């Protein structure tokens, strides 16, 4: 089969299409014919060599995929064979075939196209895990979503709205703020304004119950300070690159909590609870409660511009690659191709 290999880290990384051996599904794993691969800020950080884990090159990039299950390994769920799934592959997704643990697969609704399916799993499972499991969110609560036009942020807006919350989103540009409003945010705040917190609380007329924070940096402390008593600040990630330090007198004075959210750790160590989470997610999709954003779809040759777009905060919404190994293979080196990505703003 054909696969993309990362040969060395960098900005851009060195990438090449190779002919390689099809992976065999191990115990509890599914072999999946890949139809689409979601790309996110995580891929930009990992392939740039800036992530805490650094797989030894060569390796297959991409983690989030959609496709059809071809086979399962020993102990894997045979009911998955033939099904369309969204899945997380820790062994790499940008290949004609990929393997993922059966319990990391979500059977996708029949009317969901592969591109949308490849865009939902990580962001929606993380956001549902954050808000319901970690944050104990209830209907009527007010949720502030930082980085609301990012992958996790956009899903968190949808989940918070779907769970009956009042959603405030914060982002950095007019276009991103408009996107947040279109996703269901009642209020969208530009956190490039140094007085954004005051402007937000004045317009809201009250405090925040939950903060979904996939950004970190200088935004976390003012967001935490916006919490009402009993509030929960959900630490999801550090897209800004800087890990903030919150003085511990703040949780005491605010009677508010800082809660760590690690869906990756949860899915690996608590498979039964993760299965229940994925079933709940599927119910929310089936009932029409959630309305995932339509992703932008790109060929494999757009990977480098997409990674660049994430690094430079130009991406709005979620891009997905539909791997076209047959045609892209002629160019051999993805890294040397120049290809515009239509979804990026100038």
Q: Where does this chain bind ligand NAP (CB under 6 A)?
A: 40-42, 122, 126, 147, 149-153, 171-172, 176, 214-215, 236-241, 261-264, 310, 313
Query: How far is residue 263's CA from residue 63's CA, in Å, rounded to a whole number?
Result: 14
Among candidates 133, 189, 95, 154, which has minimal Cα distance to 291?
A: 154
Closer to ligand NAP by Cβ: residue 151 or 220: 151
- In the complex, minimum distance from the CB of residue 188 to ligand NAP, in angstroms, rounded to a whole number: 10
| Cis bond before residue 341 (omega within 30° of 0) | no
Least CB distance from residue 302 to ligand NAP, whole Å?
16
Report how far apart the first and last C-alpha atoms of the chain are (Å, whole number): 37
Complex with ligand NAP: residue 97 or 274, whichever CB lies closer: 274
Shortest distance, CB of residue 122 to ligand NAP, whole angstroms?
5
Q: Say if residues 232 and 256 touch (Cβ distance below 8 Å).
A: yes
**Minimum gap (Å) between residue 7 Cβ and ligand NAP:** 23
Interhelix angle for 151-162 vs 174-182, to 10°?
A: 30
Task: Identify the helix (H) or strand (E) that includes residue 257.
Answer: strand 257-260
Q: Which of 221, 224, 189, 196 is nearest to 210 (CA)?
A: 224
Closer Cβ to ligand NAP, 42 or 224, answer by number: 42
What is the closest distance, in whole angstroms, from the C-beta atom of residue 190 to ligand NAP in the complex?
A: 9
Which element (helix H / strand E) includes 79? none
152 versus 227: smaller Cβ distance to ligand NAP: 152
State how far the Cα of 58 lies from the Cα of 53, in Å rounded to an integer. Answer: 14
We find the least distance from the C-beta atom of residue 73 to ligand NAP, in angstroms, to be 26
Instruction: Report the residue number, 69 or 315, with the smaller CB distance to ligand NAP.
Output: 315
| Closer residue to ligand NAP, CB minimum distance, 38 or 165 | 38
């Amino acid at each position: 089969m054909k696969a993309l290999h990362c040969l060395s880290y960098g900005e851009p990384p060195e990438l090449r299409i190779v002919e390689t051996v099809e992976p065999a599904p191990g115990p509890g794993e599914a072999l999946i014919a890949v139809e689409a691969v979601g790309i996110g800020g995580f891929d930009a950080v990992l392939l740039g060599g800036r992530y805490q884990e650094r797989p030894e090159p060569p390796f297959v990039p991409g983690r989030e995929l959609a496709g059809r299950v071809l086979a399962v390994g020993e102990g894997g769920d045979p009911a998955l064979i033939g099904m369309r799934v969204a899945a997380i592959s820790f062994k790499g997704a940008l290949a004609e075939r990929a393997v993922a643990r059966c319990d990391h697969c979500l059977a996708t609704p029949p009317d969901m196209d592969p591109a949308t399916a490849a865009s939902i799993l990580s962001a929606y499972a993380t956001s549902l895990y954050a808000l319901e499991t970690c944050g104990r969110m209830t209907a009527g609560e007010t949720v502030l979503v930082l980085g609301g036009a990012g992958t996790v942020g956009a899903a968190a807006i949808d989940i918070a709205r779907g769970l009956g919350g009042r959603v405030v989103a914060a982002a950095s540009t007019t276009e991103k703020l408009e996107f947040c409003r279109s996703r269901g945010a009642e209020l969208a705040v530009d956190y490039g304004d140094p007085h954004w917190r005051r402007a937000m609380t004045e317009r809201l007329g009250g405090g925040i119950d939950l903060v979904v924070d996939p950004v970190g940096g200088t935004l976390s402390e003012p967001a935490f300070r916006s919490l009402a008593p009993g509030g929960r600040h959900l630490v999801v990630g550090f897209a800004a690159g800087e890990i903030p330090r919150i003085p511990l007198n703040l949780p005491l004075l605010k009677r508010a909590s800082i809660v760590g959210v690690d869906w990756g750790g949860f899915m690996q160590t608590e498979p039964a609870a993760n299965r229940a989470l994925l079933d709940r997610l599927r119910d929310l999709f089936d009932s029409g409660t959630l309305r995932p954003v339509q992703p932008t779809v790109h060929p494999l040759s757009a990977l480098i511009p997409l990674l660049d777009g994430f690094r430079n905060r130009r991406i709005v919404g979620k891009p997905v690659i539909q791997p076209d190994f047959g045609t892209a293979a002629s160019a051999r080196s993805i890294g040397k191709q120049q290809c515009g990505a239509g979804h990026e703003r100038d």
